[in-house]
């Protein structure tokens, strides 16, 4: 089977459904109603899709000081993957309601941290799938448990201590995926403090998308990120409010052929957990 490691189109996924080496995962999540994603999955999903809950499956809330969606431990994620019937040999396709930001790109990035390369996000998500008139069902999903053993590539994640140590650097090494008004500190509907990490630059994750909700073409993304980064070709990190929509940038940069990008998983909500850390507004 052909391998997909970035994006997959609905037209490409459709003929693959039912294959033993494919697992589809529904990652729909609503920050305003944490139960809405699972309820939507129960109501209708792509045939055979497992459900990944951002709070319970893709985060570990026992870790204080690491933001609103701390990364889970690698062994906990491996156990969940195995329960879904995913082994390191499977092709995984993640989707959410539409643009991949909540939270298909998060699952994609976490599998990449484990070294899993056969993982892709459904471009345009369930919204485009339905717009094409493709079928969904509400049948119960059963998975045959398997084995999954791996560890995270810790070099792909940057810690708060490492961010603090780099505050003296010239801008363009830390990209914040939040909306511009939140980045500038004009509004803050979620976190207790408004603003951004000093020296960070802003590119809302929505800038990665075309009008139809799919990702921009690779060459366009490449040109845009290169213009943003200037001469910097390495030591780049991405962040957002809680390390979720930042993964959208990881995926977009991967599509653009830009690698060696680190995730600041704690992101803004983790940064402000210590009031002594500096905050910038502009």
**Enzyme catalytic residues:** 240
Q: Are strands 91-95 and 119-122 parallel, antiparallel or unpaired?
A: parallel
Residue by residue, DSSP assigns 81-138 as HHHTT--TTSEEEEE-SSSSTTTHHHHHHHHHHTT--SEEEETTHHHHHHHTT---B-
User: Which secondary structure element, helix H or strand E, spans residue 202, and what is its range?
Assistant: strand 201-202
Spell out the alpha helix ranges (H) of the chain: 10-13, 36-43, 74-83, 104-113, 125-131, 160-165, 180-184, 218-229, 246-255, 267-271
Stated length of the chain: 282
């Amino acid at each position: 089977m052909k391998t997909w490691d970035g994006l997959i189109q609905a037209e490409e996924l459709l003929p693959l459904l039912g294959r033993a080496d494919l697992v589809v995962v529904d990652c729909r999540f609503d920050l305003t109603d944490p139960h809405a994603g699972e309820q939507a999955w129960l109501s209708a999903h792509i045939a055979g899709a497992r459900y990944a809950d951002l709070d319970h499956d893709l985060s570990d809330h026992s870790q204080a000081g690491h933001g609103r969606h701390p990364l889970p431990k690698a062994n906990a994620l491996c156990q969940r993957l195995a329960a879904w019937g995913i082994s390191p040999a499977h092709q995984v396709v993640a989707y959410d309601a539409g643009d991949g930001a909540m939270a298909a790109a998060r699952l994609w990035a976490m599998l990449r941290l484990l070294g899993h390369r056969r993982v892709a996000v459904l471009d345009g998500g369930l919204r485009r799938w339905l717009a094409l008139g493709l079928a969904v069902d509400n049948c119960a999903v059963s998975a045959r448990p398997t084995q999954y053993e791996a560890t995270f590539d810790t070099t792909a994640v940057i810690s708060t201590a490492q961010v603090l140590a780099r505050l003296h650097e010239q801008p363009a090494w830390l990209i914040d995926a939040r909306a511009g008004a939140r980045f500038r500190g004009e509004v803050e509907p979620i976190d207790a403090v408004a603003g951004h990490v000093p020296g960070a630059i802003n590119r809302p994750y929505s800038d990665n998308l075309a009008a139809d909700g799919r990702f921009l073409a690779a060459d366009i993304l490449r040109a845009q990120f290169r213009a943003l980064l200037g001469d910097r070709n390495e030591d780049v990190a991405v962040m957002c409010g809680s390390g979720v929509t930042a993964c959208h940038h990881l995926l977009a940069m991967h599509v653009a052929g830009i690698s060696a990008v680190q995730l600041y998983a704690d992101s803004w909500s983790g940064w402000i957990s210590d009031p002594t850390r500096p905050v910038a507004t502009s």
